[in-house]
Amino acid sequence: MFDVAGLRVMRAIAAEGSFTAAARSLGYTQPAVSQMVRRLEDRTGTVLVERNGRSVRLTEAGTVLSRHAVSVLAALDNAESEVAAIAGLESGRVRLMAFPSSSATLVPSALARVKAAHPGVTVHFSEGEPPESLAALRAGLCDLAVAFTYDGTDAGRGEDDLEGLEVIDVLTDPVTIALPVDHPLADRDVIRLSDLSDEQWIAGCPRCRGHLLELCDQSGFRPEVSFETEDYVAVLGLVAAGLGVALVPRLILASVSHPGVRTLELEPASSRAVQVVTTPDLLRVPAVRATLDALCASARELDLSATGAANLTV
C-alpha cells in the first residue's frame, strides 16, 4: 500500500505545512508532491490531506500515516547505513569453521590479518572436520568451511555433494610418516609404507584413516590399526612411546612436535589439499571475501618444506 517516496512526502507535508514547502525540502516539484498524495489516497481509500488554499492540513488518517512514517523512515535510514558499512568493510560478521589441525596454524594468522585490515569485521570461529563443516555450510550455519581432501578425492569424499559450491585450493600439505626416534628405520630420510607392513598403526579422523588404508592397500598390505585419535598431540605421544607409527600431515608439524618422534618423507609421495569452501553468493559478500583472501595469504606464507616444519616446535 505504501512506498518510501510517499512516506517521505507525508512526513515533509506534516513538517512544512504546504505542498510547495514540502516539495522544496525534498527537491521535488509541487505537482509531483500532489500526485504522490493522490496516489496514497487512492491506495488507502481515504483522504489524507485537506486542501485549504495554499495551505494544507492533515486529516486524522494523514496524521497517523505521517507519525508512523517518522519511525519507518528512521529504520530504513539505519538499515541503509548498516548495509553501507557492511559493503564498505566497516562492519560485518563471518562464521568460519575449520578442521582442528588448521586451527593452530592457518586460521590464527588469517584472523589476525582480518582484524588488522578490517577491525570492524567480526569473525566467529569454530572447529569441525570436513563432513561437519560442509554440512554446516549447506545448512547456512557457517559462511566459510576450511576442509581438506587427500590425493584422488574431493572435499566431499562422497559424504557431501559439492555441486553449487565454490571450492578454493589454498595449500598443498605433504604427508609424512612418524616413527619413534629409536626405531630401526628412523635414520632414513625417505621410507616406503611397505617397509612398515608389520607395524602397529595409529589412525586419525575417518577420512585420514581411509587415506591410510588406501595407501597401504596400494603398497600390498592391510595395516593393523591399534589406536585411533583425532588429537595429533596424542598421536605423536603414542608414537614417541613406541606404541605405533602414523601418517602425519606436515601442517601438524608447523605447530607441534615431540622430541621422541622423527618424521620421514613418503615414497611415493602423498599429500592433501587444504581448501576453503563457500557458496557463490557468499563469495560476493565483502567480509567473507576479505576473510577468504586472508586465509589464502596466510597459506602462502606457511613453510611446509621438510626443513621448515622440522624447525618448528610446540
With a cut of 50, list the residues of the chain below it in pLDDT. Answer: 156-159, 307-314
User: What pLDDT sits at residue 314?
Assistant: 27
pTM for the whole structure: 0.73
Q: Read off the C-alpha cell for 79.
A: 538499515
Residue 51 CB coordination number (10 Å): 13
Burial of 208 (0-12, 13-18, 19+ CB in 10 A): buried
Nearest partner of 295 among 97, 92, 85, 153, judged by Cα: 97
Contact 283, 166 (CB under 8 A): yes
User: What pLDDT sits at residue 312?
Assistant: 35
User: What pLDDT sits at residue 142?
Assistant: 93
Nearest partner of 133 among 148, 114, 154, judged by Cα: 148
Give the Cα separation of 39 and 60 in Å (integer): 18
Burial of 176 (0-12, 13-18, 19+ CB in 10 A): buried
Contact 164, 279 (CB under 8 A): yes
User: What pLDDT sits at residue 77?
Assistant: 80
Q: Read off the C-alpha cell for 220.
A: 600390498
Nearest partner of 255 among 97, 98, 96, 100, judged by Cα: 100
Q: Read off the C-alpha cell for 236.
A: 605423536
Q: Read off the C-alpha cell for 277.
A: 569452501
| Cα 153 to Cα 162, 207, 233, 248, distances in angstroms | 12, 10, 26, 18
- HSE-CB of 271 using CA atoms within 13 angstroms: 11
